Amino acid sequence: MSLVQAVLPDERRFRSDLESGAYLLGAALRRWRLLRIDWPHVLIAVSATPRPGVPAEFVLRFNLAGYPQAAPTALLWDDTANIELPENRWPAGTRVSCVFRPRTQWPKPCLYLPCDRMSAEGHADWPKQYANEIWRPDCTIAHYLNQVSELLTSSDYTGLRHA
C-alpha cells in the first residue's frame, strides 16, 4: 500500500510551472524564492530593494486552488508567526501603497492587482484596461511574481509603511 498522496491537477500544474523558464529566471536572479508548499497554499518570498532597517524580502501566501484556470490570490505573510503580516510592516510608496492597501481602504485579504483573483472580482473593465497584467489561464505564477517584484524593486518603493 502506497503512502504517496495523489497530487491534484492544479498542484501538478503549479509544480510544473516552477520549472518554467520565467520562474527559474526570476529565482536565479534572486527576485523570488519558494519557501513552502502546503497545497493549496504556497509561500514565496519576493526580494525588495535594500533599505536600512527594512526586510530584504516580503513573503506572499498564495491560495492557488484551481490554478491556473483560477487566478492566484495572495497576501503579505509573517512566516515566523504564521499570520498575515501586520500593516505597519507592509511596503510603502505611491503605487506600492495602492497595491498593498490597508484593510480600511480595501477589505479583501489580497493584493490590489489585476492578476489577483479576489481583486479582479467586480472589476469588469480590468481585462481591457490592464490587458498585460490581467491573469489568463495560460499564465504561470511568474506572471504574478513579476508584477510584485517590479513594485518592490522600483524607485517608487520607499521602505515600510510605518518605519
Grouping H, G, I as helix, E, B as strand and the rest as coil, residue 27 is: helix
Instruction: Note the pLDDT tens digit of each residue in 24-51.
Output: 999 999 999 999 999 999 999 999 999 9
Of the listed 98, 110, 115, 139, which one is catalytic?
Answer: 115
Q: If you search the block for the grid coordinates 515600510, which residue do you land on?
A: 160
Distance CA 154, CA 143 (A): 17
Tell me the C-alpha to C-alpha distance, in Å, between residue 92 and each of 54, 82, 85, 98, 136: 11, 22, 14, 9, 28
pTM: 0.94
Q: What's the confidence (pLDDT) of residue 13?
A: 97
The reply to whether 98 belongs to the active site is no
Residues of the chain with pLDDT under 50: 1-3
Q: Are strands 73-78 and 41-47 parallel, antiparallel or unpaired?
A: unpaired
